[in-house]
Structure 1
Amino acid sequence: MSLLSALEKPLARFFDYMIRERGLSRYTESNYRQQLTACATFLQDSGVTQWQDVDAGWVRQIASQAKRERLKPGSIALRLSALRSFFDFMIVDGALGANPAKGVAAPKQGRTLPKNLDVDEINQLLSVDSDDPLAVRDRAMMELMYGAGLRLSELTGLNLRDVAVRKGDLRVIGKGDKERIVPFTGMAKEWLINWIKVRNLLLKGPENALFISKLGSRISARSVQKRMAEWGQKQAVNSHINPHKLRHSFATHMLESSGDLRAVQELLGHADLSTTQVYTHLDFQHLAKVYDAAHPRARKRKSD
């Protein structure tokens, strides 16, 4: 069923604004489109013909309908967040005087901590010793994800020009198209050099991507996920292997070794420190110990 023009046109302007003015990624825009289209469809089915008729009561009904659809708390929170952003846009656009979604709280979410591999499991996974170009590529990808803490989209988005092998750093485009420079060294550097030496064997024509498939084009995120899961099985690692687990293992091991939360935050490209705390299993007890050991007014005075 198509949406009424009075509901659809403001959404189209909002999606265009998100990309052109705010520079948000297509992925974020796609998520917002999905959530807001669901809101508009529900409102239209309920007899609402224009966004100006939506009040806080209607927003609560949207949230209730999402619960009836058995959406997870995170998905409901995303739907309400998208709705708040859209209404903020309509206020700026002069179509609304107030945001009816502002006072509607999202359901509480339990914070689930991602699992990481221990150092022995990492060593077991990365003991790939083969001169097959695909195996060399796969080890280089896994070494780089674990060695530099990259997101999957950051890995697949890398181009040859983004890599400064001699300096040992990468130019990475993260969430929100934010650029950061990430260092890499050791085995990650060694295997990236190995990959670059054999990369031409898979080339079929001009291609800027650092990591390419056996067809010679940029490797897809799905292919990376599949290959890493296969290597986990081949190397007899007990845990299921996926790209996110390698990134999380990087963060956990870096924090355990350094204790430098801010540095890990920068390396991961997190805008919010609380996100890094979740990734690295930080709890209040750990923070309290760091505080007691480091803060000059918290340290106990030695007895005279």
Structure 2
Amino acid sequence: MHPQGEKLPKEAQHFLDFLASRGRKPSTLRRYAYDLADFYSFAFIHGDQKTASNDLLDPSLLEDYFAFMIERRKYNHKTTKRIAAVLKRYFYFLSQTYGLGSNPMESVTLPPADDEKITQDHLLSAGEIRQLLTSIESDLGLSEEQAQARPLLAPRNKVMIQLLLHQGLRLQELHGLSLDDVNFGTGTMTVSPEDGEVKKREIQLSKNDRRDLHRYVQMIPKPVRPYPGEGHPLFVSFDFQKQTYRWSYEDDEPKRLTIVAMQKMIREESKRAGLAPGKSAQHFRHTYIVSALKHGHTLEELQEKLGLHSELVLLRYQEYVNHIRSK
């Protein structure tokens, strides 16, 4: 039995046996076993029995997995790229040995590395943004159950995407927000990152974002609504079966929307709006930074606005804007 073997399905065990027969080092086999066990553990928790099975594996589950590693675990690009290579090779083995129809990793696009050049593919156009925000408030393409929930759900989804687009928030920051972080009187929001990658800061909301955020909170039914002074989460999970927002009886507060659920929401709303596959919170952040630079904001101003420790991470955006202006 390989390390982590007790957590692996038989197909993964056969894959490790195949690698061993090809002379792979024990250290390599341990690494592969750990990566596969970690993926299946995630799939068991965040997927369902149907979508997590090898023959019906949905690429969206893999996208959620990589979003989780990047946003929650803070894995760097090199690590996520290595794990992607492991999974790609594993699913190729399944296609050759077990007749898996296609390699789901072929449909997964990893976010760019921090030092990768920014291109138009990393951004949303003004037309795509309008298309997305308009689609969120429509019921086009929704099932009867989804359409019934849309009046409650649309205000949350819309304001979440607006905060990513208009404030350049990271998904981790959006996830960590509590209602107490918002001052509706002054229109300010305190962002207190838990990971230390950026600094705590106060941001000014636009009049429209402030209005839409207040509308979202007021749309939540009172029994499950977050209230000020309680440390309640700002963005709450939704229960489609009960057609209402969720309450966490364990924490005795509204149930905080998870990072994985946020990424899934972005993906589903983008797909329904007809945008190209692979859109993520990072596309919105890239778009915000490029737009700010185009409108004359300096690197120093953006560093303060985003709570960055250095301007260096912004240089690739400035390089892109300079390139566009030189055309």
- TM-score per shorter chain, which class? 0.5 to 0.7
Aligned to 2:259: 221
SS of aligned partner of 1:171: strand
Check if 1:133 corresponds to 2:152: yes
Match of 2:185 in 1: 166
Whole-angstrom distance in 1 between the partners of 2:321 and 2:133: 33
Q: Relative to 1, partners in 2 of residues 1:191 and 1:277: Cα closer, same or farther, differing over 3 Å?
A: same
Give the match's secondary structure for 1:208: coil
CA shift in 2, pair 1:222/1:255, >3 Å? same
Counterparts of 1:46-65 in structure 2, within 5 Å, are none
Is residue 278 of structure 2 the alignment partner of residue 240 of structure 1?
A: yes
Matched residue, 1:121: 128
Secondary structure of 2:123's counterpart equals coil
Q: Which residue of 2 aligns with 1:18?
A: none
Trace 1:1-304 onto structure 2 (pairs within 5 A). 74-75=78-79, 111-113=115-117, 115-127=122-134, 128-129=136-137, 132-174=151-193, 175-176=195-196, 178-200=199-221, 203=224, 208-214=232-238, 215-216=246-247, 217-278=255-316, 280-282=317-319
Q: Report how far residue 239 of structure 1 moved.
A: 5.0
Distance 1:73 1:241 in 2: 17
Distance 1:74 1:195, change over 3 A: same
The residue matched to 1:181 in structure 2 has which SS? Answer: strand
- Alpha-carbon distance in 2 for matches of 1:283, 1:129: 33
Specify the SS of the correspondent of 1:282: helix
Contact persistence 1:251–1:268 (CA under 8 A): no
Ranges in structure 1 where 5+ consecutive residues have no aligned partner: 3-37, 43-70, 77-108, 290-304
Question: Take 1:145 and 1:113, find their aligned partners in 2: how far apart are those partners?
Answer: 21
- Looking at structure 1, the residues matched to 201 and 76 of structure 2 have their Cα atoms a distance apart, in angstroms, of 32
User: What's the counterpart of residue 11 of structure 1?
Assistant: none
Tell me the percent identity: 24
- C-alpha contact (below 8 Å) 2:179/2:231 kept by paired residues: no
Query: What secondary structure sits across from 1:258 in the alignment?
Result: coil
User: 1:213 Cα shift?
Assistant: 0.3
The one-letter amino acid of 1:213's match is S
Residues 1:225 and 1:72: Cα distance change in structure 2 (over 3 Å) = closer
TM-fit CA distance, 1:73: 7.9
**Structure 2, unpaired ranges of 5+:** 4-26, 32-74, 81-112, 139-149, 239-245, 248-254
Give the corresponding residue for 1:25.
none
Report the CA distance shift for 1:75/1:139 in structure 2 as closer, same or farther (over 3 A). Answer: same
Aligned residue in 1 for 2:87: none
Q: For 1:110 and 1:153, how far apart are their aligned partners in 2?
A: 17
Contact 1:207/1:218 (8 A) holds in 2: no
Q: Which whole-Å CA distance do the structure 1 matches of 2:76 and 2:161 have between them?
A: 31
Give the number of the structure with larger relative contact order, counting CA–CA contacts within 8 Å between residues 6 or more apart.
Answer: 2
The Cα RMSD (Å) is 3.6
Measure, in 1, the Cα distance between the counterparts of 2:212 and 2:288. Answer: 17
Q: Secondary structure at the match of 1:126?
A: helix
Equivalent pairs, count: 192
